[in-house]
Structure 1
Amino acid sequence: MTLVSFVVPAYRVQAYLRECLDSILDQPFDDFEVIGVDDGSPDSSGDILAGYADRDPRVRVLRLPHNVGLGPARNAGLDRAAGDYVWFLDSDDWLAPDCLPEVAARLRATTPDVLVVDHVRRQWNDSAGHSAWAEVLPTRVDEDTIDLVERPEVLRLLHVAWNRVLRREFLLDSRLRFAPGWYEDVSFTYPVMLAAERIGVLDRVCVNYRQRRTGAITRTRGERHFEVFEQWDRVFRWLDGQEAAGDPDRAARVALLRPVVFERMVWHYLTVLGNGERIAPRLRQGFFARITADVRRWSPPGGPPVPPGVAGVRHRLVTGGHWGTFAALRRANKVGRTARRTVRVVRRRAVPALRTGRNALGYGYYRAQLSRPIDEDLAVYAAYWYRGYACNPAAVYEAARRLAPQIRGVWIVRRDRVDRLPSGVEYVVAGSAAYHRVLARARWLVNNVNFPDFVVKRQGSVHLQTHHGTPVKVMGLDQQRYPVGATGMDFAGLLRRVDRWDFSVSANRFSTEMWERAYPAAYTTLEYGYPRNDRLVTATAEEVDRIRARLGLTGPGPVVLYAPTHREHLPRYHPPLRPEALLDVLGPTGRLLLRSHYFHDRERGRRQVSTGRVLDVSDHDRVEDLYLVADVLVTDYSSAMFDYAVLDRPIVVYAPDWDAYRAARGVYLDVVAEAPGAVAVDFDGLLDLFRSGGVWSAAAAAARHRFRERFCGLDDGHAAERVVRRVFLGELSATEG
């Protein structure tokens, strides 16, 4: 018999599901099973569950034919559970490390019907907000199990299913199930607590409760929040049924606890109403009226209990149905909060403009231009912090010129990069008056990084974030857990920039998962493939020959491109590479192309001297040219491997500092275990791969095939067209429509 069955329903949680599952499977305890319930999820959640089940026999997957909602999905998992205990863990939350042995020890020692555990609220900035545990239970509970009549304050702990481990036979005997609809925890948790004869309390943080910026019902506005009344109605009807069941002891117990449950009901209603992100203004008076009706309907004998202080004032207003006074107090509080927020916003927008060296005149000119109409035919493009014409924005620009010629495209570039623009490309110089004007008035703003903080998201404008690689290293908010590689990052500012995005281009399903997790906001994901990779599919042999000729790569012999990534935490790092030794192995006709990361474009010390068969191509504008002429790519943790894999040519992962890099910088993908080809962890090993032919071996080809199937399925030569049709022309694909 398994001790614990984890029931993990999954719906639109592809960005968080892996962390949830890993937190369970990595516990130093294995007497459990995981039942992953795919609740008809339209994203990759079901595939993620299936992948874990294939790799770990402790994981089983239940696929529901259509979306039924969290409550019924939990019921379906409960029906498949075989453990003595069931733990309903939400798929966007995760267990605290090493907590399960302590939970298991308590379960085995005391055999409670319910074991309540503590949690922390994990905010987007990775800060931990404590639960109400210390307030509710200021002194340690020493008893193995407690009686609610003696400790009714336990009912004030957050009324959710995931902070309770439940004896399965108790649930089955009590016939307690989750109801459908929102706020399903309410009508399950309170009956469970009141029906339980043995309740254990474990003062141990076991669950990280994720506070999502988007996707949670607490951040969703709509009429479905009225379903909270149905859930509380179920609670009180259950209480009435218990009192009428003919068991005097049970009736007396329920009567004693009813006032506590009533107080929690009113608290919950006011919490939902007070959250401005849930109840729209036009619905608030109606919601308030429903609260008043329930207060009068379910009030315990002797009148409703009234808490002290401000909470008591709200209770009295609700009981009396005084909506006007309640709304006036709410408005007064909101005015104060709005005034304080306005001051912060003004400071935030003005100060960075001056701090980054942008003169006050230019910033003032930009602000003035915001009062002018949006230019409905203007699109502004930028790449790599204005370093030039490159990457996905360049591919989108070229497709837009062909498919939407009525749209005027203007590039923003640094002054030192102007002479590198292709002929015929209209541009403005970063920092100029024209620069501020087009930024203020463009309808479309396209970039593979973020525009500066001072840029305002105007109503009617469209911001397209193309990104510039499939992420190996952690990005965005995930960098908070790796502070060594995130020195100086302003994560609050990052999210303000992300909130401007309307569309986010994704190269593959893996990237979609990582971007949604690293950059949580309300943008629309365009999982279309990377526009810059279209050229790798469509380039002709004649085009490749022309590029080779420009680079001086005439004649036979293998061309190896070495493209390592940047190490933010090691600014002076130089990869251990001896070009001459590698060329000796490649033979007399071999050539080596060296390309440093674009962050080093102004650092002379990063440049190699092009001599003979070694060519420094760091200044070459279009990296796609280099992919096309290279016979082999050698890289470490760079996204270059995902792009180059489109060509189905050999890739070598040269990872001399892999353990240190993933510990300091953090990674999403184990590129050593899941490499797109052969792997070397030191320079001698790299030479041996070329010397022995391991670079071109059948094993390396098989690894590349698996890698291509996972990451390159969308690279068909039409990604840029898909982006232009969706973003500029408003056309939906067959699957989107």
Structure 2
Amino acid sequence: MTLISFVVPAFRVQGYLRECLDSILGQPVAEIEVIGVDDCSPDDSGEILAEYAARDRRMRAVRLTENVGLGPARNIGLDRAVGDYVWFVDGDDWLAPECLVEVAERLRATRPDVLLVDHVRTHWNNATTGSAMPEVFPEPPGDTFRLRERPETLRLLHTAWNRLVRRQFLIDEGLRFAPGWYEDVSFSYPVLMAAERIGVLDRVCVNYRQRRAGAITRTRGDRHFEVFDQWHRVFRLMDSWGPRVDDLRPAVFERMIWHYLTVLGNGQRIAPELRPAFFAQITTDHARWLPPGGYPAPGGAEGLKHRLVAAGRWRTFSALRTAYRARDAARRTARSTRRRVAPRARRAARLTRDALLREYYRAELRRPVDPTLAVYAAYWYRGYADNPAAVYEAARRLAPGVRGLWIVRRDRVHTLPPGVEYVVAGTPAYYRALARARWLVNNVNFPDFVRKRPGTVHVQTHHGTPVKVMGLDQQRYPIGAVGMDFAGLLRRVDRWDYSVSANSFSTQMWERAYPAAYTTLEVGYPRNDRLVTATAEEVLRLRGEFGLGPGERVVLYAPTHREHLPGYRPPFDPERLLDVLGPAGRLLMRSHYFHDRDRRARRPVDRDRVRDVSAHPRVEDLYLVADVLITDYSSAMFDYAVLDRPIVVYAPDWEAYRLARGVYFDLLAEPPGAVATDFADLLDLFRSGAVDAEAATKARQRFRARFCALDDGHAAERVVRRVFLGERPEPTPGGC
């Protein structure tokens, strides 16, 4: 028997949907089902729903052939539900761990028509804001009640996801969602008015995600006028119900005016030129639906707003709003002035060379943008590498009118290929290039002082498919995020025009980790083009340059670093591995680039068969010469998988790593090949041949299908054609 049917509509929530589904399916309650409704989403939300449905019998995925909107999508899920209760959970929110135990107990004990649960607003900076439940119900009722007995219930947020509703009750009352924005209004209020048994559980069950970008509440436009249609539905329904709900009209009317003023007062929703018309409609509705005996209007400034609405005095209302904003701005200015501690004279006295160069940079910002200049950088100016290098090479071929210029540290100049134009970081030429370039391409962020000029284009190529959590997601794992400035990070992210993504999975995670208004280029990774196009002759040549014979088996060991454990090295004995590999075995060892200054003495090994390749400038060379890759949580596995050669995941600290640093998926459950969790197991994998066995091969095939489908040798070309040449891909036939 199914107790709860979860209905999860999905539209443009690919970055958050996995967390939502995991939070439901991971609850310790068995009697549930999840109905995921793909509302013809243009992203991969539908594929995620199908993936979960394929591996969990409690999950069903419904794919719509046209976009119908949130309300109708919920209705479609409701029509397929079989549970006693229905819980409409949005695809970008998630449930609190183990909350379903208490929810199920309360449902069974009281059998309410509606059970209201508590929630918190979870903001992008990981801050949380509580709900109104503690004020509305200082002492939550233990038994059920009707709305007229506790009309203050209407002051709880009128969303569908903070309440479970008995399914047969919805059918009997004919209550469904209406189309359009603010669809919760014409569902949630009638549900409360019609219910004979309302219950309250003062347990935080829902994390209501406050998205930084993409939320309707942060979108300006005239669709916010649809809030009026939803409230009109509520009052027309009350008219049809007649005396049954007449005593509730004053409280519902007050909520309507409150809601209208909330929408109007949010500057991110109603554009200035639309506000007079929005206000006029509030006045019209005030006159149309005002209860004969009046209503409990609030006091103070809020009450004044209600009176101005009733009188239709837009100019006075607007002037009052402007005055309040001016007062608040003056207070902020006063606080800022008090914090200012550096008078101009003292500031001038402290000018250093860097400060003078920054002044030079600001002066260069006043000069015209160079329409032909593209500036490239990689790994905090470590040299010519990674995706930016691949894009640079493709641009030289496809966009010869673009002048490419690299930024490099002084101690890394010698690593640049011949003929590559560069500037040294920190010099006047460096600041001039950053100020005047039309294109800025990097696989990490440029410094905070860099300003986004009108007409310039910033391209973030990233430098790996993420296993570990990144960006804002690191806020939940403070051990691995020591010293991170998340507000500063988002200011840097806001400069991006394009985010290059290797695969759908990366796109989903980048949207969560770096929420902003950039355009995603899901095209594959440019740096992997070379792995696809390399010929057998090139591989033989490279092996010869490394002194590797054609009959030798070359193993590349490339672990990642642990931010939470500086200096940590996984237990690894090169000599013991070579003993297992036999006389034909060779080992290449590469530390993470964060360790490029690590000069600690190492235990002596057979240098003819072991080579430290940490300083080699192009990791793609190492992939091409290696027959097997051993790694742990490094993005190297995603690149190396393009070659379709054996990969071994060596993860001796997996449990500690996933808890302290955080990961996006279970690498041991979905590996690219064989897995070892201690060094003895690693040796056994090679000794037994499991590295090349059928199970490892099938795991690699699944991994490649998921992460490497776009790596066809033309990723850099696709980036150049879009970014430098302004070409757009042909539209995909069919679809929504």
| TM class, shorter-length | over 0.9
Structure 2: runs of 5+ lacking an equivalent: 343-348
Which of 321, 342, 345 aligns to 1:330? It is 321
Tell me the equivalent position of 1:231.
230
Quote the residue 1:213 is aligned against.
Answer: 212
In the superposition, relative to structure 1, how do residues 643 and 340 fare at CA in structure 2: closer, same or farther (>3 Å)? Answer: farther
Aligned to 2:595: 600
Instruction: Confirm or deny: 8 A CA contact 2:5 2:85 kept in the other structure.
Output: yes
Helix, strand or coil: the match of 2:148?
coil
- State the match for 1:483 in structure 2: 478
- 1:607·1:616 contact (CA, 8 Å) conserved in 2? no
Match of 1:500 among 495, 500, 504: 495
Q: Is residue 316 of structure 2 the alignment partner of residue 310 of structure 1?
A: no
> CA 1:483–1:346 in structure 2 vs 1: closer, same or farther (change >3 Å)?
farther
- CA-to-partner distance for each residue in 1:276-300, whole Å, 9 max, x for gaps? 1111111111111111111121111
Sort the Cα spacing of 1:711 and 1:348 in 2 relative to 1 into closer, same or farther, 3 A: farther
Cα deviation code 1:609-659 (max 9, x no counterpart): 782211111011110010011111010110000000000111111111111
* 2:31 corresponds to: 31
Match of 1:522 in 2: 517
The equivalent of 1:177 in structure 2 is 176
**Aligned residue in 2 for 1:249:** none
Deviation at 1:736, TM superposition (A): 6.7
Distance 2:332 2:223 in 1: 29
Report the counterpart of residue 695 of structure 2 in structure 1.
699
Q: Which residue of 2 is the match for residue 194 of structure 1? A: 193
1:428–1:319 Cα change, 3 Å: same
Quote the residue 2:70 is aligned against. 70
Which residue, 552, 558, 575 being the options, matches 2:553?
558
Contact 1:382–1:412 (CA<8 Å) still a contact in 2?
yes
Alignment pair present for 1:286 and 2:281:
no
> C-alpha deviations, 1:249-301, integer Å up to 9, x for none?
xxx45222111111111111111111111111111111111111111211111
1:728 equivalent in alignment to 2:727:
no
CA, structure 1 residues 573+141, in 2 after alignment: closer, same or farther (shift >3 Å)? same
Aligned to 2:156: 157
What does 1:534-549 correspond to in 2, within 5 Å? 534-549=529-544
**1:186 positional shift:** 0.3
Counterparts in 2 of 1:606 and 1:224: CA distance versus 1, 3 Å: farther
Letter in 1 for 2:65: P
Shift of 1:551: 2.2
1:465 to 437, 460, 464: 460
Could you list the per-position Cα deviations for residues 547-590 of structure 1 after superposition, in whole angstroms to 9, with x for gaps in the alignment? 22332224521111000001000102012111111111112232
Distance 1:664 1:573 in 2: 14
Structure 2 residue 604 is matched with structure 1 residue 613: no
3-state SS of paired residue (1:200): strand
**Separation in 1, partners of 2:329, 2:221:** 23
TM-score where L is the length of structure 1: 0.95
- Pick from 654, 661, 665 the counterpart of residue 661 of structure 2: 665
**What pairs with 1:120-139 in structure 2 (closer than 5 Å)?**
120-139=120-139
The answer on whether the counterparts of 2:251 and 2:295 sit within 8 Å (CA) in structure 1 is no
Q: Aligned partner of 1:4: which letter?
A: I
**Residue 469 (structure 2) aligned to one of 449, 470, 474:** 474
- CA 1:355–1:380: 2 relative to 1, 3 Å: farther
CA distance in 1 between partners of 2:693 and 2:330 (Å):
66
Q: Which residue identity lines up with residue 94 of structure 1 in the other structure?
A: W
Q: Which moved further from structure 2: 67-76 or 307-316?
A: 307-316
Candidates 250, 270, 273, aligned match of 2:264: 273
Amino acid at match of 2:5: S
Q: TM-score, normalised by structure 2?
A: 0.95
The one-letter code sitting in structure 1 at the alignment partner of 2:237 is W
Counterpart-to-counterpart distance in 2, 1:213 and 1:402: 38
Partner of 1:140: 140
Find the counterpart in structure 1 of residue 649 from structure 2. Answer: 653
CA 1:380–1:476 in structure 2 vs 1: closer, same or farther (change >3 Å)?
A: same
Could you give the per-residue CA deviations for residues 298-345 of structure 1, whole angstroms, max 9, x where no partner exists? Answer: 111134542112211221222222222222232334445567778999
Q: Which amino acid aligns with 1:689?
A: L
| One-letter code aligned to 2:89 | L
1:408-487 matches, within 5 Å, as: 408-487=403-482
Equivalent in the alignment of 1:533: 528
Say whether the 8 Å CA contact 1:534–1:719 is kept in structure 2: yes
Who is 2:41 aligned against?
41
CA distance in 2, matches of 1:280, 1:518: 29
Offset, 1:158: 0.3
* 1:15/1:516 contact within 8 Å kept: yes
Q: CA deviation at 1:715?
A: 0.5
Which residue in the other structure is 2:55 paired with? 55
Deviation at 1:140, TM superposition (A): 2.9
* Structure 2 letter corresponding to 1:306: A
Count of residues in Structure 1 that have an aligned counterpart in Structure 2: 726
CA contact (8 A) 1:149 1:253 kept: no
Using the alignment, how far apart are the partners of 2:381 and 2:261 within structure 1? 49
Query: Per-residue deviation at 1:139?
Result: 2.7
**Alignment match, 1:401:** 396
Contact 1:358–1:431 (CA under 8 A) maintained in structure 2:
no
Deviations 1:513-566 (A, max 9, x none): 111111111111111000000000111233223322332224521111000001
Equivalent residue number for residue 345 of structure 2? none
Q: Give the distance between the partners of 1:579 and 1:325, measured in 2 at CA.
A: 79
One-letter amino acid of the counterpart of residue 414, structure 2: D
After superposition, the C-alpha distances for 1:220-240 in whole angstroms (9 at most, x for unaligned) are 111111100100111111111
Tell me the equivalent position of 1:640.
Answer: 636
Aligned counterparts of 2:474 and 2:188: Cα–Cα separation in 1: 36
Tell me the residue number matched to 1:246.
none
SS class of match (1:675): coil
Is this contact kept in 2: 1:607–1:618, CA < 8 A?
A: no
- Give matches, 1:339-358, under 5 Å: none
Matching residue's letter, 2:216 = I
Q: Match of 2:665, SS?
A: coil
- Gaps of at least 5 residues in structure 1 are 244-251
For the structure 1 residues 336 and 444, does the alpha-carbon distance in structure 2 shift closer, same or farther, using more than 3 Å as the test?
farther
CA distance in 1, matches of 2:720, 2:546: 32
Please give the alpha-carbon distance, in whole angstroms, between the structure 1 residues aligned to 2:318 and 2:106: 47
Q: Is the 8 A contact 2:159 2:184 kept in 1?
A: yes
Please report how far the alpha carbon of residue 686 of structure 1 lies from its aligned counterpart in structure 2 after TM superposition.
1.1
Q: In structure 2, what residue type is equivalent to 1:117?
A: V
CA-based RMSD: 2.2
- 152-161 or 195-204, which deviates more: 195-204
Task: State the secondary structure of the residue aligned to 1:379.
Answer: strand
The 1:9–1:356 alpha-carbon spacing in structure 2 relative to 1, beyond 3 Å, is: farther
Tell me how far apart the structure 2 counterparts of residues 577 and 349 of structure 1 sit (CA, whole Å): 53
Q: 1:459 offset after TM fit, Å?
A: 1.5
The 8 Å contact of residues 349 and 453 in structure 1, kept in 2 or not, is answered as no
Aligned partners of 1:436, 1:394: CA distance in 2, in Å? 21
Equivalent position amino acid for 1:373 in 2: P
Distance 1:647 1:346, change over 3 A: farther
Q: Kindly tell me: are residues 357 and 146 of structure 1, through their superposed partners in 2, closer, same or farther at Cα, counting changes over 3 Å? A: farther
Q: Classify the secondary structure of the residue corresponding to 2:147.
A: coil
**Structure 1 stretches of 4+ moved >6 Å:** 339-351, 354-358, 606-610
1:434, CA displacement in angstroms? Answer: 1.0
